[in-house]
Amino acid sequence: MIQSSAKPAIRLLRLFRPEEIVYLSFFAILAVISLIEGESHIHLAQDRLGYTFLAIGTAIITFRLNRLLYRSQGIPWPELRLEAWQSFQLIRDIFSVLMCWAMYASIKSIMPESALLDDWLIKADRLIFGFDPVVALEKFIRPWLTDFMVFNYVMLFAYIPGVFFALTWKNCRRGLRDFMLGLILASFFGYLGYLAVPAIGPQHTQAHLFTVDLWQRETRVMAQDALELLINLNRIKRDCFPSMHVCLACICLFYAWRWARGLVWLLLPATLCLIFSTFYLRYHYVVDAVAGIALALVVFACTPGLLRLWETNIGPLETEKVESSS
């Protein structure tokens, strides 16, 4: 009885990838929270219905695409079938990458009005160092260094596509599935961390302690304009803990080490500079970065086992199933 009732659920799950289940669950959680919370707890209460439709619409689109992919296995022309399958897989992969950004952009609508927890993060930094490390960094501020730090900070937006296309170019399907699951899982827990630990960062809470202007110029520079454009484009006011800049950069570094070692020598120094830039530019406390690195390590350690668990209980990954039959 249990086995027969489980079969339809397993058949349904086989239409999805593990990372798709994760981001669909994320949007479902946002939809539920936005529907049950009152306006006093939501910055943009009018978006509650919109995110409900976002969750439903994303589920429908993903389901229909996956159903089409499964049905394409019946095409009698093997070469055409394989080419069509690979094209759809690439679209599907890119869609999952875009969902990582959509998860970040969508959570701003349900950020709570609860009390900030910056004091806890400041105390954690002081407990570790005995002083305020972000404030202490102002002695190193130089205009050229600020420009360099901004460059490293915004380069995160090249890390994910870089690893993605490297694995795609190598046709490393297993590595791509592993990387995508890690990317989405880290985003899932990290962005929900913004809800659990709302904080606005040292640029606001410790502004009274800074004695050196970060920019030190009378005229605005391109780097400053570029940074503020990116920050204001989809700004979440309480997006400090954990540092997802650090977490996602480490995700890219760790999975490159596992699947594309040639990228490590490029990503390692870039990631170290990016981590430092989060403190130098006063966006994060040190403990934010520690939490981001810890989250990346946990996800990195768990994804191979999660993929094996999926294959054992749900079935082989769709890409492997088709490739083996071609």
pLDDT tens track for 53-63: 555 556 656 66
Predicted pLDDT at 48: 47
Structure token pair of residue 104: 């970040």
Predicted pLDDT at 325: 38
Predicted pLDDT at 14: 78
For 56-103, what is each residue's pLDDT tens digit? Answer: 556 656 665 666 666 555 555 455 566 666 667 777 888 888 887 777
- The pLDDT confidence band at residue 256, using thresholds 50, 70 and 90, is very high
**Residue ranges in the chain assigned as alpha helix (H):** 2-13, 18-36, 48-71, 78-106, 118-129, 133-136, 143-154, 156-169, 173-196, 202-205, 222-233, 244-259, 264-280, 286-313, 318-325
Compute the average pLDDT of residues 197-224.
Answer: 76
Which own/partner pairs from 81-84 qualify as long-range (CB within 8 Å, at least 24 positions apart)?
Answer: 81/326, 82/322, 82/326
Residue type, 320: E
Model confidence at 139: pLDDT above 50: yes
Which range has the top average pLDDT, 37-46, 103-112, 305-314?
A: 305-314
Compute the average pLDDT of residues 142-163.
Answer: 89
Predicted pLDDT at 211: 87
Structure token pair of residue 201: 């960062």
Compute the average pLDDT of residues 193-218.
Answer: 84
57-71, 103-117, 160-174, range with the lowest pLDDT: 57-71
Q: How far apart are CA 67 and CA 83, in angstroms?
A: 17
Model confidence at 270: pLDDT above 80: yes
- The pLDDT confidence band at residue 47, using thresholds 50, 70 and 90, is very low
Is the model more confident about 266 or about 225?
266
Q: How far apart are CA 211 and CA 224, in angstroms?
A: 19
Residue type, 238: R
Predicted pLDDT at 72: 56
- The pLDDT confidence band at residue 294, using thresholds 50, 70 and 90, is very high
Cβ atoms 48, 42 nearer than 8 A: yes
Supply the pTM of this predicted model: 0.81
Residue type, 129: F
Percentage of residues in the chain with pLDDT exceeding 70?
71
Closest C-alpha to 195, from 121, 278, 120, 110: 110
Model confidence at 1: pLDDT above 50: no
For helices 18-36 and 286-313, the axis angle rounded to 10 degrees is: 120
- The pLDDT confidence band at residue 290, using thresholds 50, 70 and 90, is very high
49-53, 263-267, 307-311, range with the lowest pLDDT: 49-53
Query: What is the phi/psi pair of residue 297, to 5°?
Result: -65, -45
Which range has the top average pLDDT, 19-23, 39-43, 59-63?
A: 19-23
Compute the average pLDDT of residues 197-225.
Answer: 76
* Average pLDDT in the chain: 79
**CA-based torsion, 135, 139, 144, 145: positive or negative:** negative
Which range has the top average pLDDT, 27-36, 105-114, 272-281, 309-318?
A: 272-281
Predicted pLDDT at 315: 75
Cβ atoms 195, 303 nearer than 8 A: no
Compute the average pLDDT of residues 144-168.
Answer: 90
The full set of domain ranges for the chain reads: 2-325
Compute the average pLDDT of residues 121-144.
Answer: 92
